Structure 1
Amino acid sequence: MGTTVQVMGFLGWVLLALIAIVPFVTARHRPWSHTNKQVTIQGSEDLVTELPGQPEVGFRHYAGYVTVNEKNGRALFYWFYEASIQSMEKPLVLWLNGGPGCSSVGYGATQEIGPFIVDTDGSGLKFNPYSWNTEANMLFLESPVGVGFSYSNTTTDYDILGDSFTANNTYNFLHNWFKKFPTYRSRNFYIAGESYAGKYVPELAELIYDMNKDPSLYINLKGFMLGNPETSDSHDWRGMVDYAWSHAVISDETHKIIQDTCNFDSNDTWSNISCRNGVDELLNQYKEIDIYSLYTSVCTNSTNSDNGSMQVMFNSKFKMMPRIMGGYDPCLDDYAKTYYNRPDVQKALHVSDGLQLKNWSICNYTIFREWSESRPSILPIYKKLIEAGLRIWVYSGDTDGRVPVLSTRYSLSVLELPITRAWRPWYHQKQVSGWFQEYKGLTFATFRGAGHAVPIFKPSESLAFFASFLAGETLPLER
């Protein structure tokens, strides 16, 4: 899998805040009809037909398990939405959230880019008019085992969770999923994700690229897209510190202490007491607001003890949970937890019989704390896959303090890629949506006024961005 991996012990403290979401308008669409017999056959046992509170839509969606290791009883839960229009002509996109330990169903599908958004009391769903399945067939995966509904019957599997384990299991999942949905095997395939998926996605892309040398295993991978991604630990830390200072979260004095005493390239960064104290002060200031969305409110009425907005969890490995936060309703995690722990919902998603329930949580903090393997940098994978000709787009919401735009700019600068289109604004609906720069082999863009989970803040803009990515087109240069 390329460069040497190291045990993750670098990112500091678990800092919890809550997500908010731009409210979406409920809409009704024509009911699904049996018009494509070729598709009806595949995956029919996983077809979702009676999801509680679901608005009527004109596309099919499927949910269930795919076994990735028969011997260990290891199975991953997926939720797949056909494209709402011309699904057989559109690409397949796998979406991954990070953590490690957080659910792509709970975040990506439920709060960001899926067609159904959980209502405020967890009793039903709203239609998302900016769902990415208007442009592609969207596949959401809860990975690795222990995340969401995914599981293993072998307890020792939970002791070896890490980047390589996750990539290999996701790769196995894809091949077994294609057995359920064979018409998608030759489809143009892309991977997208955010936060810690900044490591998941390139690692999976590299594995697919390497294994494609065997024609029998070929997956038609065309590229990947990442939002506010963890990329290079040392550069991510420098960017986080400089961003906090430049946005008046920490003082000049704290910034200078960290600059003078922290060697983020070292494997022994936290042995320096002055460095630790400086970073402690930075994190203490972020406790007062939402680190994932600097200018929005925090949830003050959370009933979930795991993600109380002012709670800080200490971790001896000095790590910080890179959760998916943001927007205008910072209590949405609670709604998702209520909805996915309903018996009728689990039965509709083919998770349980509706009697013996599974305990679903949006993030598994044990997985996060005990993660055994994480690459300190995935930049070597970027270089390899750029040379291979894959399409790579990276974007940053510019009000995120957790993996801020500076972290990504510092990381990408190491690649020293030639600039093919200089820094300039891009537009959506006659407004500046952000800025972007095109390099030889990579596009980098910002979203103006968006936090960590960009589609929550800028749903229409992010959908337009996604469409440009799939088409391989330059972002709009004029109003």
Structure 2
Amino acid sequence: MPNSKWVFAVLIIILITQLKSSNCSNGFSAYSNEQQQLDKVLQLPGQEFNVSFAHYSGFVTVNEEAGRALFYWFFEAAEDPASKPLVLWLNGGPGCSSIAYGVAEEVGPFHVEKDGKNLYLNPYSWNQVANMLFLDSPVGVGYSYSNTSSDHLNNGDIRTAADSLAFLLKWFDRFPEYKGRDFYITGESYAGHYVPQLSQAIVRHNFATKDKTINFKGFMVGNALFDDLHDHLGLFQFMWSSGLISDQTFKKLNFFCDFQSFIRPTAACDKILDIADKEIGDIDHYSVFTPACTANFNQFLRRRNKVGNLRRPYDPCTELHSTVYFNLPEVQKALHVYNGNNSSNWETCSDDVYNGWTDSPRSVLDVYHELLHAGIRIWVFSGDTDAVLPVTSTRYSIDALKLPTVGPWHPWYCDGQVGGWTQQYEGLNFVTVRGAGHEVPLHRPKESLTLFKSFISGTSLPKLEQISDS
């Protein structure tokens, strides 16, 4: 595999050249402002409530020659957006949609009801704190597309970072009022690659061009893929210590899989992983102590919803509801999904993108080492009931960075209860979220909002004190 530093340097040079030669004149800027208004979402199907904030969705072409266009959905902050930072959210996979997960079941203001046709407001939406931008990346994910069909089957880390940087620079032209605004990146899972790699591309772009458009301040990732060796080590230990697998399988996993690629294991490793899967049984690996989405449980949720419970029960089937909603023609029309390339079924995750992934480095620890010297804020969080990229994996990977600790390990609180634990390192803050699975905001929405507020403000998480509902 080529040296990542050299490749990123070449990509930055190419991108700068393309931007200089593009029509970035005042006429282009006027067109972009007009396009911003065309992107404004007026009303969504199933939205039986009013909101105080504006939101926009549409496409930004990141490569004219190939016809690659990325889909975004942007929500202004609920109050005083002009004073709030801008935050980009990315989901992983590779191949999973930030609209499906980030918006529709985690940190977005609109979540999808069980009928797949109606929406409800998320009281813990992150747009209470910041202007939130969600991006479906790379092409082939969600509504994002390319006119070059082979692009969907030849994605990878390097091009994803380059296209995402190109997207941001063009998006800021469309929304010039956000140029120079404090900017952060957040995400989870395989975005453990996307987020630091895009952060690296931004830092290098800003250094090379002295451009102040992207006023990058830092990033935060959750239950993130860091380093294949340490992620495997922590995963197998978590499964064994949680009583999910046998002693024999635990030993075989460590023997056959310890140095394997996390997304491209060998046949021998795959065979042992299949055995582990059978031993674990029919549970949700992403949240081991909550119900899995089975046909029976989905029917139970529908019956329970009809009798009018005031408190929403945990719903493990949110992905099914989103699949129905975002395939509705009237929803796609409202979100400005007009392009003929998007006529195929919308999916939460694309198997084509995942199976065609061309480059995935075994580790991003080298990227962290570079960014730790860039003076940006870096937070890492982990739900502690995830058996896909568990808290043990994250702790092993952070330990491999060999950072000095600058604060004691201690609990943090939400509503007078322990929300998790935290450790401050030199240049990095690590936070666990108690009782949360892979999608922390789905399982612990109020705690995740508390975490997000602390990250954005750069302040310590609450100690023994109450957090109000407001």
With the length of structure 2 as denominator, give the TM-score of the two structures.
0.85
Q: Secondary structure at the match of 2:249?
A: helix
The aligned amino acid for 1:234 is L
Equivalence map 1:165-184=2 (5 Å): 165-184=159-178
Partners of 2:265 and 2:452 in 1: CA distance: 39
Find 2:88's aligned residue among 94, 97, 116: 94
Q: Distance in 2 between matches of 1:131 and 1:220?
A: 23
- 1:438-477 aligned at under 5 Å gives the runs 438-477=424-463
Contact 1:77–1:142, Cα closer than 8 Å, also in 2: yes
Q: How does 1:29-428 map to 2 (within 5 A)?
A: 43-54=36-47, 55-213=49-207, 214-216=209-211, 218-259=213-254, 261-262=255-256, 264-265=258-259, 273=268, 277-301=271-295, 328-352=314-338, 357-428=343-414
Query: Structure 1 residues 241 and 88 mapped into 2: Cα distance closer, same or farther (>3 Å)?
Result: same
Counterpart of 1:135, as a letter, is V
CA drift at 1:329 = 1.4
2:194 match: secondary structure: helix
Cα deviation digits, residues 368-403 of structure 1 (max 9, x gap): 112110111001111111111110000000000000
5+ unaligned residues in a row in structure 2: which ranges? 8-31, 299-312, 466-470
Higher helix share: 2
Structure with bigger RCO (C-alpha 8 Å, 6+ apart)? 1
2 CA distance for matches of 1:129 and 1:272?
Answer: 45
Distance verdict in 2 for CA 1:422–1:117, change over 3 Å: same
Q: Cα offset for 1:288?
A: 2.0
Q: Give the match's secondary structure for 2:395.
A: helix
Measured in 2, the distance between the counterparts of 1:344 and 1:270 equals: 41
Q: What is the DSSP-based 3-state SS (H/G/I as helix, E as strand, rest coil) of the residue aligned with 1:422? A: coil
Q: Distance in 2 between matches of 1:267 and 1:297?
A: 29
**Matched-pair contact (CA < 8 Å) for 1:244–1:401:** yes
Instruction: Compute the displacement of 1:217 (Å).
Output: 6.5
Task: Give SS of 1:78's match.
Answer: strand
Once the two structures are TM-superposed, the CA of residue 287 in structure 1 deviates from its matched residue by 4.4
Amino acid at match of 2:365: L
8 Å CA contact 1:398, 1:448 repeated in 2? yes
- With normalisation by structure 1, the TM-score equals 0.83
Aligned-residue identity in percent: 50
Cα distance in 1 for partners of 2:37, 2:201 equals 29
- Following superposition, the deviation at residue 251 of structure 1 comes to 1.5
What one-letter code is carried by the residue in structure 1 that aligns with 2:141? V
User: What's the offset of the Cα at 1:277?
Assistant: 4.7
Contact preservation (8 Å) 2:33, 2:175: no
- Classify 1:271/1:133 alpha carbon distance in 2 versus 1 (closer, same or farther; 3 Å): closer
Secondary structure of the corresponding residue to residue 75 of structure 1: strand
2-structure distance, mates of 1:403, 1:452: 7
Deviation at 1:267, TM superposition (A): 7.2
Say which SS state the counterpart of residue 148 (structure 1) adopts: coil
Evaluate the alpha carbon distance shift between residue 124 and residue 262 of structure 1 in structure 2; reply closer, same or farther with a 3 A threshold: same
Q: Quick one: distance in 1 between partners of 2:280 and 2:95?
A: 22
Contact persistence 1:395–1:444 (CA under 8 A): yes
Distance in 1 between residues matched to 2:278 and 2:198, nearest whole Å = 35
- Offset of 1:328 from its aligned partner? 2.5
Partner residue in 2 for 1:315: none
Q: Deviations over 1:347-377 (max 9, x none)?
A: 11000289x9552111101111121101110
Instruction: Tell me the distance in 2 between the aligned counterparts of 1:118 and 1:445.
Output: 29
Amino acid at match of 2:322: A
Structure 1 counterpart SS, 2:331: helix
- Does the CA-based 8 Å contact 1:94-1:192 persist in structure 2? yes
